[in-house]
Structure 1
Amino acid sequence: MNRRAILTGLAMAGLLPGASPASIRAARAADAPARPFDDTTVREMARELATRPFAAPDERLPGPLSDLGYDQYRTIRFDARRALWRDGNLPFQMQPFHRGFLFKQKVELFEVANGRAAPIAYDPAAFTLAEVGGPQAGDLGFAGFRLTNPMNRADHFDEVAAFVGASYFRAVGKGHIYGLSARGLAIATAEPSGEEFPVFRAFWLQRPQSGGNSAVVHALLDSRSTTGAFRFTIRPGEETVFDVECRLYPRAEMSTVGIAPLTSMFLLSPLDRLGTDDYRTAVHDSDGLMLSTGRGEAIWRPLANPRELQVSVFADANPRAFGLMQRRRDFSDYNDLEARYERRPGAWVEPIGDWGEGAVHLVEIPTREEIHDNIAAFWRPKASLRPGQEYSYVYRLHWASAAAFAAGGRPAPAQFREARQGGKPQPPGTRLFVLEAAGGRLAALGEGVQPVAEVSASAGKIQNVVAQPNPETGGWRLSFELVPGNEKLVELWARLKNDEGPLSETWLFRWTP
């Protein structure tokens, strides 16, 4: 999927005559009445919908809109003067996206106020359609929506979150620009069978409270394998936080589900730029996978752009947090005046409650261009999800510049802020790795105290391990050499410690020639 293009049965007597896609569309008709709505409504709809066969979303569009290119689609703008809640002096406004280009699936939108849900009617006059054939007959509906909020300036509503395309959504904190995305659910990502893409069929947006700073969005998810009910509580700020409540109702057994999935882009960095020819030092929306395990271990796994598909699995039980982060935060790290990668947020997932046994999966897909999302990370439960059951996952999703490990009353471990590699002439094929760690427990070391460097490799040979203070960063530099020989894949492991335990997070990297 092109990143720059993306933005790049029981009857529901209280709300709908039934929970089928057709009945949802009927409820959104311009003359449909408002119906009762509460926090159980979408759950009951999802539970009932799971008893029915899957019906593919409506993608039919009139000729001029059915084959739009990216540049044509960009000419469709919603009139901000007609944004939902604009005239109510409320902390949020909503602007829908028109259907077209990659976003052909029809998504139903409702407003919830005073315990009742009313359809949001489609009006072609609210969009600039002149360059794409003008207004078309019929209720074409919406592809999704964006939320705006005066996050950066009191006198201007900035876009803080957008839900558009399958189950994709993304957000920014103060001073950020869009980067990586999240999804409602991932199914069979990087599996030989091919990936299944669940979709959000409908959204219910609760009217925000005057003087508040949170927006609540309910969503109905649907796919061949499952349905789902989501509740998002969105709080913009220095970091924008989503409280996510996810309930799944499988139609079929799911052994390859991905919970709290994140999707990003990585092209090159000082650690992985072999075979590239680019004036920029780094090109990525995220530079590493960060883990806080249920055992209390802090892990940093720098991302790579491999020559072949790579899947890494980090087994755990009741993880504390995981996320795809963007640690390089200076313009000089990228030197890109257009993309401004230093302003892209990371996304940090904190499970609430116990998620049991499973694993964080990291998927790295080869790419030659920065327009493609080629990184995915998600939690996969060890046990399959079975039809006829309800599965609940609650988590807090931080869109932030940085994330910290839970320290348990002690200083957090030092973080590896940078890593580079380069060649050494002897022995042939030798690689030199240079890691920079700073902050946390390293900063609390007494003067003259030397940490112990631990480095290991799954194959090949490690030599010349050195840990030395770096007065330029105020931290410590850890360097070592890998002699891979004829090995085609080597898993590297490194950290700094003292007699009391780890001083740094654990640094992991998969080296390939």
Structure 2
Amino acid sequence: MRRRGFLTGVSLLALTVATPLRAAIPRFLESTPFDRDTVRMLARDLAARDFVPRPEVPEAWRNLSYDDYRKIWFNTRNAIWADTDLPFEMDLFHPGLYFSRAVEVDVVRAGMGNRLAFDFDLFDRTDDAPDLPVDETMGYSGLRLRHRYEGEMNHREFAVFQGASYFRAIGALQYYGLSARGLALGTGDAEGEEFPDFIRFWVEEPSPGDPDIVLHALMDSPSVAGAYRIRITPGAACEMQVDCTLFPRVDLDHVGIAPLTSMFLYDQTNRPRFPDFRPAVHDSDGLLVWNGAGEMLWRPLANPTSLQVSSFVDEAPRGFGLMQRARRLSDFADLEAYYHERPSLWIEPADDWGPGIVRLVEIPSDQEIYDNIVAYWRPREPLAAGREYRFAYRMLWTDETGPTPPPRRGDVARVVETYMGLNFSRDAWLAAIDFADHAALAVAGGAEDDADPGQFDDMVVRISARVPTSDGVLQRNPETGGVRLAFTFDPGKADTVELRAQVFRNGEPATEVWLYRWTRA
């Protein structure tokens, strides 16, 4: 999958201009009545007809080189609502290069959806930018939302919708990292994946003082049409309330609800494969699941040598997400990418999603420019053609240790690091798991008892694997203040070993459930 780091570079070009001087808004090509049910009805009508691909933009736009594409960028002085005192502004992206089919963009005001004409005068260009044909009905490739945070004069971007059904967001002090999608179809299947597109957006014009902005999207693909309503609230964390209605054209056996897409190249678990000066490179380092049984599951991500799929069977999940728990600059030693400030993304169902699985797909990768991690909810029962399905959920682009962390069990310690390698005698593999400092692992007598070898007498380690393992050893980690669990396992001739470990205290869980799939490199 093409990495959306390219999009970040395009997006940052716009940050050089922030003074809200106003050019003319693109004129409206047409205005039609719009209400909360408009997009749902359009999606239902689309699904009742055969799929028809949207027309491509003119060839000269499609044939733009990467360098030529970057020679044209949106001038933020021309943003939608730049001539107002509203806390939001909207920018537009031109089509071409990777975006051969444009999308329609409407501004909703006073109960009317107003389709924007394509206006090349909204964009700045270098002197050597190519001459391109312009058709005002052509559309755009996507949009960017910016917000004026309290105490600031200028608007800063916090969300981008561009390419297929991809979108991404950040909290106020974060850098772009992982992405989300409207829907995933057949991810990891041998016959290939289908990528539905958002083909039209409606953005409701906010009122002065509004803390959030509402975006509607119409989705279409050969297999399904869909309607999305997304209420977006920027802040220290960016929160999205998503209401999705799907109308399958065919029976959907392998559908991914609330899919997340990220990048994991390496960390200390597979560091020897990458001769890089940085100790780690990733946008996310683990999958977190709060399952319907109340367990907090932590599965460190991997960059396998062959496609790897993991399924976590569940019913009525409380939430799941791809987390970035490495939060120190020294974890990455990267002064440009700032991986330690990439967001974690948490999905929280608004109602009972019934039985299914949280599915994790890990794709081999040798470069950080490619996304290779996908996670989503797969319902157990197929979605039948001709029916209507609704899924509502909350998305939180955040940091687990920040002021607005995702919901979680507060009575168990988080996994903060996983180390994997051969033991000292080189005859077995050793797993070392660091758990965060937490009351569930605290020494009963206080800090002065940290060196007491009996401090772990009321703790029990449970390790499961289908290969021989040692007993788990617990030690206090003086740097983190938490506890380290270490054990060895012998894979023998097995190419794959599934491992599970957890610490209990007085019969109750004291830590998250640590899960790991060891594979022979």
TM-score by length of 1: 0.92
Residue identity over aligned pairs, in percent, reads 43
Q: Distance in 1 between matches of 2:289 and 2:54?
A: 36
Secondary structure in structure 2 of the residue aligned to 1:178: coil
Deviations 1:429-457 (A, max 9, x none): x1111111014442555236425342434
Q: Distance in 1 between matches of 2:232 and 2:348?
A: 15
Q: Distance in 1 between matches of 2:304 and 2:406?
A: 28
Correspondence for 1:367 = 365
Secondary structure in structure 1 of the residue aligned to 2:141: strand
Deviations 1:169-214 (A, max 9, x none): 0000021010000000000000011000000000000001201110
Secondary structure in structure 2 of the residue aligned to 1:436: strand
Deviations 1:248-306 (A, max 9, x none): 00100000000000000000011222422111111000000000001100000000000
**2:38 is the alignment partner of 1:41:** yes
**2:488 is the alignment partner of 1:486:** no
Give the letter for the 1:469 counterpart.
R
Q: Distance in 2 between matches of 1:444 and 1:93?
A: 48
Contact 2:28 2:116 in 1 (8 A): no
Secondary structure in structure 2 of the residue aligned to 1:72: helix
Name stretches of at least 5 consecutive residues in structure 2 with no aligned partner.
10-25, 450-454
Q: Distance in 2 between matches of 1:202 and 1:426?
A: 61
Give, in angstroms, the shift of residue 405 of structure 1: 4.7
Q: Distance in 2 between matches of 1:246 and 1:137?
A: 34
Name which of structure 1's ranges 430-439 and 238-247 shifts more when overlaid on structure 2: 430-439
What is the count of residue pairs matched by the alignment?
A: 488
Correspondence for 2:413 = 414
Secondary structure in structure 1 of the residue aligned to 2:470: strand
Give, in angstroms, the shift of residue 33 of structure 1: 3.9
Correspondence for 1:2 = 2
Correspondence for 2:158 = 160
Contact 1:5 1:70 in 2 (8 A): no
Alignment of 1:100-139 (within 5 A): 100-130=96-126, 131-139=128-136
Moved over 6 A (4+): none
Name which of structure 1's ranges 317-326 and 267-276 shifts more when overlaid on structure 2: 267-276
Contact 1:182 1:260 in 2 (8 A): yes
Deviations 1:393-446 (A, max 9, x none): 000000001145533xxx431001111122225363x11111110144425552
**2:84 is the alignment partner of 1:83:** no
Give the letter for the 1:124 counterpart.
F
TM-score by length of 2: 0.90
Correspondence for 1:17 = none
Contact 2:421 2:429 in 1 (8 A): yes
Secondary structure in structure 2 of the residue aligned to 1:42: helix
Correspondence for 1:271 = 269
Alignment of 1:430-449 (within 5 A): 430-443=428-441, 446-447=444-445, 449=455
Name which of structure 1's ranges 74-83 and 160-169 shifts more when overlaid on structure 2: 74-83
Matching residue within 335, 350, 365 for 2:333:
335
Matching residue within 174, 181, 184 for 1:183:
181
Q: Distance in 1 between matches of 2:101 and 2:418?
A: 42
Q: CA RMSD in A?
A: 1.7
**2:197 is the alignment partner of 1:195:** no
CA 404–241 in structure 1, closer or farther in 2 if over 3 Å, else same = closer
Name stretches of at least 5 consecutive residues in structure 1 with no aligned partner.
9-28
Correspondence for 1:465 = 472
Q: Distance in 2 between matches of 1:177 and 1:324?
A: 15
Give the letter for the 1:47 counterpart.
R
Correspondence for 1:307 = 305
**2:93 is the alignment partner of 1:94:** no
Correspondence for 2:52 = 55
Give the letter for the 2:2 counterpart.
N
